[in-house]
Amino acid sequence: MDDDLDDTGPAAEPGASADDGDLRALPKGIRPVLVLGKVRQILEAFAPDRPELSFQDIRKATDLPPSTCQRLVANLVAEQFLDRHGDRYRIGLRLAYWAAPSGAGLDVSEIVHPALTWLRDTTGETACLYRREGDLRVCVAMAETYQAIRREMYVGKLMPLHAGSASRVLLAWDDAKAAQVLARPLEPFTTSTVTDPDLLAVLLKQTRQQGYAMTSEERDAGAASVSAPVFGPAQALVGAIGISGPAQRITPHQGAEWAPVVVRAAEQATRLLGGRPGV
C-alpha cells in the first residue's frame, strides 16, 4: 500500500529549539508535515548541472517508493512546481516568480545575521561575513565577541585577497580571480604570509577539498581565523563566513575543533540565502 502523503511526524520535543544551530527548527509542539520533506527531496534532485531529469533519475536521486514518487511528481507538475517536456522534467519557471519577493528589501547581511550570531555564541569569537570587492575583501556583516581581548574588526574593513582564511576561501571557489592573484607578486604582511604562488595554489586546492580554511598570523601577527564558503541560488559563491580572534585562543587544535562549527554556520547561511550546502 502506498504511504500516506498527508502524514505528519511527532511533535517537536518540549526542549527542542533553534539553540543548537538549526535556525529553521519547528516551534515546540508543532508536528512536521512529512510530505513536504519528500517534495524537497524531489526539488533538490535538480541542480545547475542536472537541469532536466527523467522520472527514473528522480526516483534514483530520492529513493522514494515508485508510487509515492509518481504521485508527487504528477502533482508538482499540476501545481507548476515542475515543468514537463516529453519524458523529462525541469524546475517550474513559475517558481522563479514565486521566489522573486524573497529577497525584496533585504540584503545579505540581514539574511545571514542569525547564522553569524549563532557562530559567535557557539565559539565565543567574532563572526564575520566577507565578500570580494575587486582585488580586496570586505567585512559586510559581523557579530562581535563579548570577550575583552579581541581582534579589531568592523563592517566595511578592507583586507588583502591573498592573506587570511576568508581570502583563501574566496579564491578557492573563484578560479578566474585566483588565477589573477597568483599571477602577480604576493605582498607579505607578516613572516607567516604565503608569498609563494605555487604554495598558495596548493593551499587553495586543499581548501576546496576540505571545505574550509584555517590560517594563523598571515595578515596580522597574533591573530588567527577559520572560514568556510557561503553560496546563494544556482550555487553562486556569495562570500566567506568565519571566526577570527587572538591566536592564543584560536590555536591549531582549537581551530580544528571549531572548523565543523564554522562549516555548519556557513551551511545555515547558504540555506537562508536559498542556496544548497555541500557544493
Instruction: Beginning with the edge strand found earlier in the chain, give each strand of the sheet holding 126-133 in spatial order.
Output: 158-160, 136-143, 126-133, 237-246, 223-231, 213-216
Here the cell at position 228 is: 568556510
Query: At which of 49, 79, 100 does a domain end?
Result: 100
Residue 241 lies in a domain: yes
Query: At which of 52, 76, 100 does a domain end?
Result: 100
Q: According to the model, what pLDDT value does residue 100 have?
A: 60
Residue 278 lies in a domain: no
Phi and psi for 251 in degrees, rounded to 5?
-75, 165
Among 1, 29, 36, which Cα is nearest to 15's?
Answer: 29
pLDDT < 50 stretches in the chain: 1, 4, 14-19
CA atoms 212, 136, 152, 117: torsion sign: negative
Same domain, yes or no, for 158 and 85?
no
Residue 43 lies in a domain: yes
Domain boundaries, position 29: 18-100
* CA 108 to chain centroid: 12
Same domain, yes or no, for 165 and 73?
no
Q: According to the model, what pLDDT value does residue 231 have?
A: 92
Q: According to the model, what pLDDT value does residue 230 have?
A: 95
Q: According to the model, what pLDDT value does residue 234 have?
A: 74
Q: According to the model, what pLDDT value does residue 15 have?
A: 46
Same domain, yes or no, for 57 and 153?
no
Same domain, yes or no, for 125 and 219?
yes
Q: According to the model, what pLDDT value does residue 5 have?
A: 52
Query: At which of 45, 68, 100 does a domain end?
Result: 100
Same domain, yes or no, for 129 and 267?
yes
Q: According to the model, what pLDDT value does residue 236 have?
A: 86
By the 8 A CB rule, do 185 and 156 touch?
Answer: no
Same domain, yes or no, for 252 and 203?
yes
By the 8 A CB rule, do 236 and 86 touch?
Answer: no
Question: Read out DSSP for 2-25?
Answer: PPPTT-B-PPPPTT--GGGS-TTP
Same domain, yes or no, for 149 and 64?
no
Residue count of the chain, please give it.
Answer: 279
Same domain, yes or no, for 126 and 256?
yes
The SS3 of residue 115 is helix
Distance CA 127, CA 153 (A): 10
Q: According to the model, what pLDDT value does residue 208 have?
A: 95
Residue 124 lies in a domain: yes
Rg (CA), the chain: 21
Structurally, the chain folds into a number of domains equal to 2
Q: Are strands 126-133 and 88-91 parallel, antiparallel or unpaired?
A: unpaired
Same domain, yes or no, for 96 and 119?
no
Residue 279 lies in a domain: no
Residue 211 CB-half CA count within 13 A: 14
Residue 232 lies in a domain: yes
Phi and psi for 10 in degrees, rounded to 5?
-65, 150
